[in-house]
Amino acid sequence: MRNIKVILEYDGSSYCGWQRQPRHLTVQELVENGLHKLFKERIKVSVAGRTDTGVHAKGQVINFVTCSFVPIPAIKPALNSYLPPDIQVKKVQEVSVNFHAQKSALSRLYRYIIYNHPFPNPFYRNFSWHIPFSLERENMREASRYLIGRHDFSSFLAQGSPVYSPVRKIEKVVFFVKGRFMVIYIRADSFLYRMVRNIIGTLVEVGRGRISPPEVKEILDARDRTAAGPTAPPQGLYLVRIRYLSSSLNN
């Protein structure tokens, strides 16, 4: 039995998220169908993070076990030939039998892209959030500092979502501005459902002057989703990287 780790990238615009759903096309369905064609066996994959409808990935990680002897160098080109152009394999490796894409992860890094310009651009509509009004970037940076550390993030959890514990640890929030684009990176040990998009929506309200930076701490302490800002749209969000202990990868 072999345990195979695969890094995927995909444009999520055409899919109803990662996870299989009846009557809806998803990334998981196409990937597992491709694996079935390649390995001639039914394969169920484990995934590092279940991206929502319209969300993209630069470094999604999956793993699966197989009895097949298909060589590792042959898997990437073969699997890509069974996948559509908007879903592609970046890297394949054989890993320890104990490795699990989700449970072995130490942290996840997400990127959110805002297109900040008075007029929309049709070429960026599926890959960024168009915001036509000016944003006070320094206020957004100041507000983000209140989110660093281990907290109860109930105020940024989608309402009605079941969760064992709302406590998460955000390791960093970094802003980059280049021309008309604002790019925000958020890294945490893990994320609640729609937590990143709810944080981004709140930070944009800070940038608009509707919420002051210190109020973000009050929102966090409230542990109430209605206290925070709106949910940012999915098309600006990218799963960038999953970090693992090197020992969990050693075969």
Q: Are residues 147 and 24 in the same domain?
A: no
Same domain, 117 and 227: yes
Q: List residues bridging with 86 in a β-sheet.
A: none
Residue 248 has pLDDT above 70, yes or no: no
pLDDT attached to residue 17 = 96
Cα–Cα distances in angstroms (integers) from residue 70 to residues 2, 54, 100, 129, 214, in the given order: 10, 32, 21, 42, 56
pLDDT at position 2: 95
Does residue 46 fall inside a structural domain?
yes
CB 192 within 8 A of CB 168: yes
Helix (H, G, I), strand (E, B) or coil at 77: helix
CATH code at 123? 3.30.70.660
Measured in whole angstroms, the distance separating CA 203 from the mean position of its chain's CA atoms is: 18
Residues 42, 115 within the same domain: no
pLDDT value for 164:
84
Residue 19 lies inside a defined structural domain of this protein:
yes
User: 150 and 59: one domain?
Assistant: no
Task: Point out the residues that are catalytic.
Answer: 52
The verdict on 233 and 134 lying in the same domain is yes
Assess whether 99 and 157 both reside in one domain: no
Asked if 73 and 173 sit in the same domain, the reply is: no
- From 61, 84, 103, the end of a domain falls on 103
Residue 251, pLDDT score: 63
- At residue 206, the 3 state secondary structure works out as helix
In a domain, 9, yes or no: yes
- Half-sphere exposure of 170 toward its Cβ, with a 13 Å CA cutoff? 21
Residue 246 lies in a domain: no
pLDDT of the residue at 214: 97
Task: Share the mean pLDDT of the chain.
Answer: 95
What is each CA distance from 192 to 23, 85, 156, 160, 240, in whole angstroms? 26, 30, 8, 12, 17
Residues 111 and 94 in one domain: no
Q: Are residues 38 and 153 in the same domain?
A: no
Where in the sequence is the domain holding 62, given as residue range(s)? 2-103
| Residues 77 and 179 placed together within one structural domain of the fold | no
CATH number at residue 41: 3.30.70.580
- What is the amino acid identity at position 115? Y
Question: Is residue 136 located within the same domain as residue 148?
Answer: yes
Question: Would 250 be classed as within a structural domain?
Answer: no
Residue 249 lies in a domain: no
pLDDT tens digits for 53-92?
999 999 999 999 999 999 999 999 999 999 999 999 999 9
Q: What are the tokens at 122?
A: 């049709």
Mean pLDDT of the 199-217 span:
97
**Model pLDDT, residue 58:** 97
Query: Does residue 116 sit in the same domain as residue 8?
Result: no
